[in-house]
Amino acid sequence: MEIRIGDLAKRSQCEVVTIRYYEKEGLLPKPARSGGNFRLYGDAHVERLQFIRHCRSLDMALNEIRALLALRDNPTQDCGDVNLLLDTHIRQVEVRVEALLQLRQYLHTLREQCSGARPVQACGILQGLVNCDCHVKNTINNQTPG
């Protein structure tokens, strides 16, 4: 089977620009070219793109996906490195979940500062945002609020 990039995009529900990006990043192998210089993709491209998209749906970074693809391309290797990669990803997700839970708690606390209709100048939420001395490091985006 040989399909063009537009057909691959439709079949995989992936934007053409994303497919080209994955090619540029070396996640997808370079496709063959037609006489008119159109990219021609095969079943292996479809399957690999589906694998990449599934990994992305699990919020894996491109370097993690690249590592998994390299391991997958060497099927006789021990899968211990795959387990290690996934264990590391799970820990990263747990850290982000904890940070989000803390953020949610802070937002609830902030929301409790204003319980009814009042003039904006008396809004406890806005005052809380101005007078906050917390400035806790935002571990989700590695930024400091404020």
**pLDDT tens-place string over residues 70-95:** 999 999 999 999 999 999 999 999 99
Q: Are residues 85 and 47 in the same domain?
A: no
Amino acid at 77: Q
Q: Does residue 144 lie within any of the structural domains?
A: no
pLDDT at position 128: 83
**Domain final position from 43, 72, 101:** 72
Q: Are residues 16 and 61 in the same domain?
A: yes
Q: Are residues 68 and 84 in the same domain?
A: no
Rounded CA-CA distance 107/109 in Å is: 5
CA distances from 40 to 10, 19, 27, 106 (A): 14, 12, 16, 52
Neighbours of 49 (CB within 10 A): 22
Q: Does residue 13 lie within any of the structural domains?
A: yes
Q: Are residues 31 and 54 in the same domain?
A: yes
Going by C-alpha positions, the residue among 10, 5, 34 that lies closest to residue 20 is 5
Q: Are residues 11 and 56 in the same domain?
A: yes
How does pLDDT run across 20-38, given as a tens digit for each residue? 999 999 999 999 888 888 8
Rounded CA-CA distance 99/139 in Å is: 6
Domain span holding position 13? 5-72
Statement: the pTM of the whole predicted model exceeds 0.85: no
Q: Are residues 43 and 23 in the same domain?
A: yes
Going by C-alpha positions, the residue among 40, 33, 87 that lies closest to residue 60 is 87
Q: Does residue 146 lie within any of the structural domains?
A: no
Q: Does residue 140 lie within any of the structural domains?
A: no
Is the CB of residue 43 less than 8 Å from the CB of residue 37?
A: no
Q: Are residues 65 and 39 in the same domain?
A: yes
Q: Are residues 98 and 64 in the same domain?
A: no
Q: Are residues 68 and 87 in the same domain?
A: no
Q: Does residue 61 lie within any of the structural domains?
A: yes
Q: Does residue 126 lie within any of the structural domains?
A: yes
pLDDT-derived band at 146 (thresholds 50, 70, 90) equals very low
Q: Does residue 141 lie within any of the structural domains?
A: no
Residue 145 clears pLDDT 50, i.e. is over it? no
- Give the SS3 label for residue 144: coil
Rounded CA-CA distance 41/137 in Å is: 45
Is the CB of residue 85 less than 8 Å from the CB of residue 77?
A: no
